[in-house]
Amino acid sequence: NAGVTQTPKFQVLKTGQSMTLQCAQDMNHNSMYWYRQDPGMGLRLIYYSASEGTTDKGEVPNGYNVSRLNKREFSLRLESAAPSQTSVYFCASRYSGGSYNEQFFGPGTRLTVL
């Protein structure tokens, strides 16, 4: 099992450019999540998908869109990147059979917006 994979690992964008961060999991998990990590702020939830076919906003959704392509894949899109979106982005997945089930995290994408 590869677990949760994310591409790319690193990306540099100019202000106004767009890009899509890809995430896939091979654990047959129902729920998937996108977080951003900024120094001193922990991880903050951007969007989540409780199950295939559903998505919902998290704490900091502005400037982002998501697509739950199928059960395995959950992508995050920045339509017009801004310097404030410079961050490390983590995708996570979870089996939703119980609220106590933990999330499994990918290795992250480091994004710099100039």
Partner 1 sequence: AQSVTQLGSHVSVSEGALVLLRCNYSSSVPPYLFWYVQYPNQGLQLLLKYTSAATLVKGINGFEAEFKKSETSFHLTKPSAHMSDAAEYFCAVSDAGGTSYGKLTFGQGTILTVHP
Residues lying near partner 1 in the complex (CB under 8 A): 4, 31, 33, 40-45, 48, 50, 56, 58, 90, 92, 94, 96, 99-108
In the complex with partner 1, the residue whose CB is nearer, 19 or 45, is 45
In the complex with partner 1, the residue whose CB is nearer, 26 or 79, is 26
Q: How far apart, in whole angstroms, are the C-alpha atoms of residue 67 and residue 83?
A: 23
Structure tokens at 64: 């982002």
Neighbours of 110 (CB within 10 A): 15
For the chain, give the number of residues.
Answer: 114
Q: State the nearest-atom distance from the C-beta of 86 to partner 1, in Å.
A: 16
Q: State the nearest-atom distance from the C-beta of 22 to partner 1, in Å.
A: 15
Q: State the nearest-atom distance from the C-beta of 106 to partner 1, in Å.
A: 5
In the complex with partner 1, the residue whose CB is nearer, 33 or 78, is 33
Could you give the 3-state DSSP secondary structure of residue 83? Answer: helix
Residue 107, classified by CB atoms within 10 Å of its CB into exposed (0-12), middle (13-18) or buried (19+), is middle
